[in-house]
Structure 1
Amino acid sequence: MHSDASIQHVEEQTTAWLEKVVIGLNLCPFAAKPQRNKQIKIEVCDATDDQAVMESIITELTLLDNSEVADLETTLVVTPNCFQDFDDYNQFLDVADMLIDQFGWRGTYQIASFHPDYCFADAEPEEDSNLTNRSPYPVFHLIREASIEKALKYYGGDAEAIPDINIDRVCALSDSEKRALFPYLFKAHSHS
């Protein structure tokens, strides 16, 4: 996974997911504008160990901290070689969250989570509701809280309802739509 072509492939798949699923299905009403304005960074961390991923997240949060929103709104740290197991990923989220506290970034940044095997605490793994957070690779989405607050101010709908609306949206997809939007999920399951 150390070749540029592989990193480029991961970037392309992540961008396709961002555009077709996150923006295409309007799962995040706030993603289209920064994507149009090229303010979303996709950082592929091809490390295979927790420590290197932790360092990558710190580096990217520091970069966000030192950048203007106009230049860099948000960053997706993608880890194709680490945290394949959702439970390991989920446990590492606690570490990532502690980093935010450790660097005094609580209230400034937060991390949203996406994973190929994402499963909500109150859902079964095979439930379609999980599709709202299923990405081609494990992703740590570094978000500026000020940007969320600003976006919510201009958002016409009920922000609290977004997760439920998203679940309804993905659950209403036909099988062929799911296969088109989430090809990486069906490839993985066809081998089992």
Structure 2
Amino acid sequence: MTQDTTFDAEAIETGVRRWLERAVIGLNLCPFAKAVVVKQQVRIVVSDASTERALLEQLGEELALLRDTPVDAIDTTLLVHPQVLADFLDYNDFLGDADALVEAMELDGVLQVASFHPDYQFADSAPDDAANLTNRAPYPILHLLREASIDRAVAAYPEPDAIIERNIATVRELGFDGWDKLLED
């Protein structure tokens, strides 16, 4: 599905940074995020892709860049794509293409793609389940992660298996109204 071709990349990046600071870090949804943000090792790319094919090509470029860049310069990349895959089911289908690209580039075990979407819905949940907020973002985002960084962070974190349950409890307590207020300008 192609979206409107006019958008403000700077405003979109500002919205993503707000989400990152207030929700991901502020609610401690990812206890590993703060360190890479503080070290300025998060690359945020607002894509101008308007087709799935163009997005897949850009994803390949970003995967190669992350692979070829030292971790102390870029640890992770957020590829924000506001003009394509606004429909969550289309987005979810595209994740298979993203994983296939990681495999085709022989980056299995090196990099992975995590997913965030404004309408994110876990397979076994209802659309109005606040638990879905843990993976909701203001725009569709493909999050490129280094597996070695994940392994190091998880090894250093006490009880990493408790993160998911804690996050669900946090967002359910906050609720949709609280979530919306958190992300307001």
Same topology, TM > 0.5: yes
Q: Give a deviation string over 1:167-188, Cα, whole Å, max 9, x none.
A: 001001156522212449xxxx
Offset at residue 47 of structure 1 (A): 1.2
* Residue equivalent to 2:67: 65
2:38 to 36, 39, 42: 36
In structure 1, the residue matched to 2:16 is: 14
Q: CA RMSD in A?
A: 1.6
TM-score w.r.t. length of structure 1: 0.90
Unaligned runs of 5+ in 1: 185-192
Q: 1:83 to 1:175 in 2, by over 3 A?
A: closer
The answer for the alignment partner of 1:126 in structure 2 is: 128
Paired position in structure 1 for 2:152:
150
Q: How does 1:61-140 map to 2 (within 5 A)?
A: 61-140=63-142
Question: How far did 1:164 drift?
Answer: 1.2
Contact 2:41 2:74 in 1 (8 A): yes
- String of CA shifts for 1:31-64, please: whole Å, max 9, x gaps: 0000011000011112110111001111111111
**Consecutive aligned runs of 4 or more in structure 1 exceeding 6 Å deviation:** none
TM-score by length of 2: 0.94
Deviation, 1:161, is: 1.8
SS of the residue aligned with 2:48? coil
Paired position in structure 2 for 1:173: 174
How many residues of Structure 1 are paired with residues of Structure 2 in the alignment?
182
Counterpart amino acid of residue 167 in structure 1: I
Q: Which residue of 2 aligns with 1:188?
A: none
Task: Determine helix, strand or coil for the equivalent of 2:55.
Answer: helix
Distance of 2:25 and 2:167 partners within structure 1: 11
SS in 2 for 1:27: coil
Which one of 8, 23, 32 corresponds to residue 25 of structure 2?
23
Amino acid at match of 1:48: S
Query: How far apart are the structure 2 equivalents of 1:175 and 1:89?
Result: 22
Distance, in Å, in 2 between the alignment partners of 1:164 and 1:183 is 26
Identity, % of aligned positions: 43
**2-structure distance, mates of 1:155, 1:42:** 25
Structure 2's unaligned 5+ residue stretches are none
Pairwise CA distance, 1:66: 0.8
Task: Describe the SS at the equivalent of 2:8.
Answer: helix
Q: Structure 2: how far apart are the matches of 1:123 and 1:83?
A: 21
